[in-house]
A = this chain, B = another copy of it.
């Protein structure tokens, strides 16, 4: 079923055939729906799906020409998938796993046979398993810090992190400050910074320590929340497969190329507007990250705390790159395709080859490094990254047959990724406005999730939660 809905080059687009025109949805006069959903990422799509299954008439408005939000699958020659955005499903991602299974989306675990690479300054070492070959002292202090993080995170209620013991103190410092104090050993700290950067898509010097603890708690602990985790799975046909299945279900109730620029609260509902026109609804679920939600013009204006939340929770930055090779040549050399670099511009390299497909090495560059690399000319950026791939896996890596990249801050309808982040002082001042509905306006999006926030799993759960909120309060009679 999913296969049928795809176009081989740009699968998101096929949906626009039936959905792009702002027609009246079968009703006379002004467009209307019981519930309008803003954004067709996993949060918005999940909310729409849940509402529809409860008989509610729903309309999803997506700004861009594709669905998926921060999930963005491209096809390379041979039709193989490349995930330029969020890509994985892992232990604890129960909602995503159930959705994937229901949609028949196949997953696979990248092979872990072989040795991984650790780069540090000019040294190059290989190692087996998940733990880089650092001196016992370094590993010991790292283990101790992780134990401390675990213990601090365990005290947090992710519904109200601002009420945790020591919340004010932890929210008044950056994660970098905590790490400097608790990991004075430089190499251990570097490794921790790399892992946190990869997880949060922001430098440790930008994010609140309370927000880091909340993120750890929301992903079930330090170990299960780190990129080094081994039980991670990727999607054979790309991480957007389940999203495409929901979109197909929605049919004409999903409209692409429809950026929402205004939300007006009426006596008996909402009026959601943009260049596409205006749609009336009883409720609206805004399923985009806080900073993008803040760019919508609200009439009447939002309460101050909610407005300040949108001002104060910016997007992280990530540059995601893939080099494609005839075959996964590193496997012949006994390598996993995974590399860590504690001092270079590319902190982590990973194997994203599909089973039976060409070789594919990927890298995520978060934070300031992403901005710096994105500002380089394309050829310089490519050669900079490939030089690092070659340092890890040999000169063969210098000559890929294809190259794909996405600087998420440049996506006009994401403007960053993969997560939004909480700078110091935000959770304890306006954090309570993150999920609180404003009249008929409800908020979804991975950032609003209390479990697995920042993951596709969190997005799905947030959509389900917003749908439940709406169903609980809706006065409309279910059904068109």
Instruction: List A residues at the B interface (Cβ < 8 Å).
Output: 168, 171-174, 176-177, 202-207, 261, 291, 294-295, 297, 301, 304-305, 307-308, 311-312, 314-315, 317, 367-368, 371, 374-375, 407, 409-410, 412, 415-416, 423-426, 428-430
Contact = CB atoms under 8 A, between A and B. Distances in A.
A428 B367 CA distance: 11
Most buried by B among A307, A409, A425, A426: A425
Contacts of A203: 172, 425, 429
A447 B422 CA distance: 22
A261 B297 contact: yes
B424 A206 contact: yes
B305 A375 contact: yes
B305 A315 contact: no
Contact of A205 (B202, B375, B425): B425
Copies of this chain in its oligomeric complex? 2
A84 to B, nearest CB: 15
Contacts of A410: 301, 304
A147 B415 CA distance: 41
A304 B416 CA distance: 8
A429 B307 contact: no
Contacts of A317: 304, 308, 429
A409 B308 contact: yes
A424 B174 contact: yes
26 contacts: A172-B203, A172-B206, A173-B173, A173-B176, A173-B205, A174-B177, A174-B424, A177-B177, A203-B425, A205-B428, A206-B423, A206-B424, A261-B261, A291-B294, A295-B295, A301-B412, A301-B415, A304-B371, A307-B415, A308-B371, A308-B409, A311-B415, A317-B429, A367-B425, A368-B425, A424-B424
B205 A305 contact: no
Contacts of A301: 410, 412, 415
A424 B205 contact: yes
Given A308-B371, A308-B416, A311-B314, 15 more contacts: A171-B205, A173-B176, A174-B174, A205-B425, A206-B426, A206-B429, A301-B410, A301-B415, A305-B409, A307-B409, A307-B415, A308-B317, A311-B315, A367-B425, A368-B425
